[in-house]
Amino acid sequence: MTGTTQDDYTDRYARRVRGMTTSEIRALFAVASRPEVVSLAGGSPYIAALPLDAVGEMLNQLAAEQGAQSLQYGIGQGTVDLRERICEVMALSGISGASPDDVVVTVGGQQALDLLARLFLDPGDVVLAEGPSYVGALGVFQAAQAQVKHVPMDDDGLIPAALEEAIAAVERSGRKAKFLYTIPTFQNPAGVTLTEERREQVLDICERAGLLVVEDDPYGMLSFETEAPRPLRARRREGVFYVSTFSKTFAPGLRVGWILAPHAVREKLVMMSEANVLCPSAFAQGAVTQYLSTMPWQEQIKVYREIYRERRDAMLGALRDLMPPGTSWTHPTGGLFVWATLPEGLDSKAMMPRAIAARVAYVPGTGFYADGTGRSNMRLNFSFSAPERIREGIRRLSGVMEQELAM
């Protein structure tokens, strides 16, 4: 799909670049964004639901009234105002008493993951992560030349016994895992949520094994039914690094996320971030601060929840009505994704060109594993397309699958 180009620089690249391959998602975006294709591939929030006129006015005001700060360089850690607001946001999820001084504002959750990887990972180190896991995090770990060992999930999230086994297996190989990277709530891509009981078990296991936890929580506020279980960081302060972002609750285009880290580590993270980006965008931080201070952002989250719930229902309904026998899928109670498992013999990666020809796109499961597995899976996004488009997309997809099965 992405035709390979001649690269005369191959021999000159640093070692960490050698394993880098084009992200399947990025390669897909070009094709999937054609209007005739129903894209279930992306992970974009439905920005059209924002009150864009009011946001525009807010941004105008920000430039006119606070331009001297918001168009200037800022400090590496991020503005105090925003860090205070971030602590209020976290308190709503159950992380109480966090100090703004322990928060580092980042360029999206993505930079937060990158900073943590730079801080903790040496080449050859092992990271434990759910299987499947977030493609952007896998890219970060790969760039750090770390090795990802996947821990399986079921409908209740990460399986504690499997985590214990994975830790033991790494130890048997004479190494030690540096941290567990986990998305416990409305996981990307699996759409499952770690239960209350398992949260305690996972934390206990990590504590016993001396394993740090990187908790990535972009979706926790996007629940469709009951509120999501409290984050891991709300249960343990020590050894848990909490990462989140305004990408899914406000706007990914602003690129504002954060890390909540123990104090000593926080200082190192700021130094790393300064070396990396000097400081996060002052204007984007100003925009988020204004949005949180002056606009009904919690109401807006309710709007997102309603829209996504309806779209999730449309997707689950269409899957139930249209998928060939032997297909199974998760039933997310929040977030943006359904994870489907195909009938025996189907290969989501090989099928992709036929799906595109049938004007539907998804992300093959292989992108979410560091070890090349996932061919019998696909990630389906329900946040971006309207319910009737989702149904049409699933109809096209099931048509392609029926054809493959008949081959």
Task: List contacts with ligand PMP (CB under 6 A).
Answer: 43, 108-110, 134, 136, 183, 188, 216, 218, 245, 247, 252, 257
Minimum CB separation of residue 349 from ligand PMP in Å reads 21
Nearer CB in complex with ligand PMP: 243/316: 243
Closer to ligand PMP at the Cβ: 209 or 269? 269
- CB nearer to ligand PMP: pick between 39 and 245: 245
- C-alpha to C-alpha distance for 189 and 131, rounded to whole angstroms: 9
* Residue among 115 and 323 whose Cβ is closer to ligand PMP: 115
Tell the smallest beta-carbon distance from residue 43 to ligand PMP (Å).
5
- Between CA 340 and CA 391 the distance in angstroms is 15
- Whichever of 43 and 160 has its CB closer to ligand PMP, that residue is 43
Q: Is 302 helix (H, G, I), strand (E, B) or coil?
A: helix
CB atoms inside a 10 Å sphere around CB 291:
25
Q: Measuring CA to CA, which residue among 210, 198, 271 is closest to residue 238? A: 210
Judged by CB, which is closer to ligand PMP: 219, or 224?
A: 219
**Closest separation in Å from C-beta 10 to ligand PMP:** 29
CB closer to ligand PMP, 214 vs 358: 214
- Shortest Cβ distance from residue 141 to ligand PMP (Å)? 13
Instruction: Kindly state the smallest distance separating residue 106's Cβ from ligand PMP, in Å.
Output: 8
SS3 state of residue 112? helix
C-beta closer to ligand PMP: residue 258 or 351: 258
- Let me know the angle formed at the C-alpha of 210 by 208 and 211, rounded to the nearest 5 degrees: 110
Question: For 21-79, where are the alpha helices, taking DSSP H only?
Answer: 24-32, 52-70
d(CA 404, CA 80): 56
DSSP 8-state secondary structure symbol assigned to residue 223: B
Choice between 188 and 348, CB closer to ligand PMP = 188
Relative orientation angle of helices 387-406 and 297-322, to the nearest 10 degrees: 30
* Sheet strands (E) in 217-308: 240-245, 257-260
What is the CA angle 153-155-157, rounded to 5?
Answer: 45
Handedness of CA 131, 110, 45, 43 (dihedral sign): negative
Query: Do 332 and 312 contact (CB within 8 A), yes or no?
Result: yes
Single-letter amino acid code for the residue at 218: P
**Nearest distance from C-beta of residue 135 to ligand PMP, angstroms:** 8
- Helix or strand run (H / E) with residue 103: strand 103-106
Point out the residue whose Cβ comes nearest to ligand PMP: 108
* Shortest CB 12 distance to ligand PMP, Å: 29
Residue closer to ligand PMP (CB basis): 184 or 358: 184
Contact (Cβ atoms closer than 8 angstroms) between residue 50 and residue 262: no
CB 220 within 8 A of CB 178: no
- The distance of closest approach from Cβ of residue 110 to ligand PMP in the complex, given in angstroms and rounded to an integer, is 3
- First and final C-alpha spacing in the chain: 23
Residue 134 near residue 243 (C-beta atoms within 8 A): no
3-state helix, strand, coil in the chain (%, to 5): 50, 15, 35
Rounded to whole angstroms, the Cα distance separating 366 from 151 reads 15
CB of 108 to ligand PMP, least distance (A): 3
Q: How far is the CB of 4 from ligand PMP (least distance, A)?
A: 27
The nearer residue to ligand PMP, 358 or 365, going by C-beta atoms, is: 365
Please state the closest distance from residue 164 (CB atom) to ligand PMP, in A: 24
Residue 384 backbone class (left: φ over 0; alpha: ψ -120 to 50; beta: rest): alpha
